[in-house]
Amino acid sequence: MDKVETIKRLPKLEQHVHIVGSTKPETLMGIIEDSGAKTKFNSIDDIKQFFQYKDFPHFISVYSTVNDCIIDEKYFERITYEMLESDAASNVKHVEAIFSPNDHVRRDLDYGKMLDAVNKGIKRAKRKFGITCTIRVDLVRNYGPETAMKELDWIKKKDDNIVAVDIGGSEDGFPPEPYEKVYKKAKDRGLHLVAHAGEASGPESVWGAVKTLGVERIGHGTTAVKDPALLKEIRERGISIETCPVSNLRTGAIKALNEHPIRSFIKQGIKVSVNSDDPSMFNTDMNNEYLQLNNQLGFSVDELMRISLDSIETSFLPAKKKAEMRKEFLKEYREIVSRKA
Ligand SMILES: [Zn+2]
């Protein structure tokens, strides 16, 4: 088996993927035709053309236009199913998917109906591919802490399959500190804590997520590399970083993949996962992420497998499930490596 095939067959776990960002251009076109949503897209090529970004704020505006096209809760079943179908094709066994309900509630969709549709897609994918998936709710920092508190109440009423909260959205202008009480409440409710930080802003945003919000994992964390004291703090607190290399390249957070700081994180003793973030909008998938690390940053097959195992350890799966999955991953790895020889 050649190296590319070996890397594709490695068992994987994805910790950072947005459901809406997984909407394939073909699916989006189908949704627009089915729903009659008014948009500027006339073809799949129009959509593909649109999925190119000048910078991070431009990406956020494109993302918002995609949200405008989803005018019925039912479409989340198909979008979620297809996200998991694509992950399964990269031999991903478990996914912790990000869903931002208020992006859609403010467009008059119903929180409970959306959650049901997402979970239907998850169940269908499990039956078909054996892949499992839980949900983390992105409170989206742009809506402010009062709205985030309200969203915690939605979660309290209906929390089917939700394991964590997050703040995504625009880091610039929306620092983490005002979310202190929201995170405290989420923690008291037994939810795991993550924040997007250090993607579109400097290390100060990561400091806020670490010190004020008490996060267990950081989404992206790219700019943390500029601050050695911060890296030390992250390591000492046992926080892990969900890296999204191709996403960082596409939004301009890094200039080239070989400039991605993932190796510096690992050298500092910080555990990392590798993730596709918004795979359809960034034209990537989990196989591509692993292959790019091999191509552009010289990660060996063994090093990539280490990332897969660390991703299990830092996942929000229960301890028993983690131990089972670790065994399963190592068994597959031994089979792959013995076939390679
Ligand atoms: Zn993200």
Query: What is the spatial distance between Cα 292 and Cα 307, in angstroms, rounded to a whole number?
Result: 14
pLDDT band, very low/low/confident/very high, at 37 (cuts 50, 70, 90): confident
Distance (Å) from CA 64 to ligand 1 centroid: 14
pLDDT value of position 159: 96
Positions annotated as catalytic residues are 199
Query: What is the spatial distance between Cα 293 and Cα 263, in angstroms, rounded to a whole number?
Result: 10
Encode burial over 211-228: b for 16+ CB neighbours within 10 A, e otherwise: ebbebbbbbbbbbbbebe
What percentage of the chain exceeds 70 in pLDDT?
99
Arithmetic mean of pLDDT over the chain: 96
The mean pLDDT of 35-60, rounded to a whole number, is 88
Q: Is the pLDDT of residue 332 over 70?
A: yes
Distance (Å) from CA 341 to ligand 1 centroid: 38
Distance (Å) from CA 201 to ligand 1 centroid: 14
pLDDT in tens, 66-125: 999 999 999 999 999 999 999 999 999 999 999 999 999 999 999 999 999 999 999 999
Distance (Å) from CA 131 to ligand 1 centroid: 21
pLDDT value of position 340: 57
Q: Is the pLDDT of residue 224 over 80?
A: yes
pLDDT value of position 1: 78
Distance (Å) from CA 110 to ligand 1 centroid: 23
Q: Is the pLDDT of residue 254 over 70?
A: yes
Containing structural domain, residue 57: 3-340
Domains identified in the chain, total number: 1
pLDDT in tens, 134-187: 999 999 999 999 999 999 999 999 999 999 999 999 999 999 999 999 999 999
CATH number at residue 46: 3.20.20.140
pLDDT in tens, 4-33: 999 999 999 999 999 999 999 999 999 999
Q: Is the pLDDT of residue 264 over 80?
A: yes
pLDDT value of position 341: 52
The mean pLDDT of 324-328, rounded to a whole number, is 98
Residues in a beta bridge with 12: 92
Distance (Å) from CA 54 to ligand 1 centroid: 17
pLDDT value of position 339: 78
- Contact criterion met (CB below 8 Å) for 209 and 237: no
C-alpha gyration radius of the chain: 19
Distance (Å) from CA 247 to ligand 1 centroid: 8
Residues in a beta bridge with 192: 164
Lowest-pLDDT range of 214-228, 233-247, 327-341? 327-341
Distance (Å) from CA 333 to ligand 1 centroid: 28
Distance (Å) from CA 240 to ligand 1 centroid: 15
Query: What is the spatial distance between Cα 70 and Cα 18, in angstroms, rounded to a whole number?
Result: 15
CA distances from 284 to 254, 255, 290, 328 (A): 16, 17, 10, 26
Q: Is the pLDDT of residue 287 over 70?
A: yes
3-class SS of residue 178:
helix
CA distances from 51 to 21, 55, 60, 62, 144 (A): 10, 12, 11, 7, 27
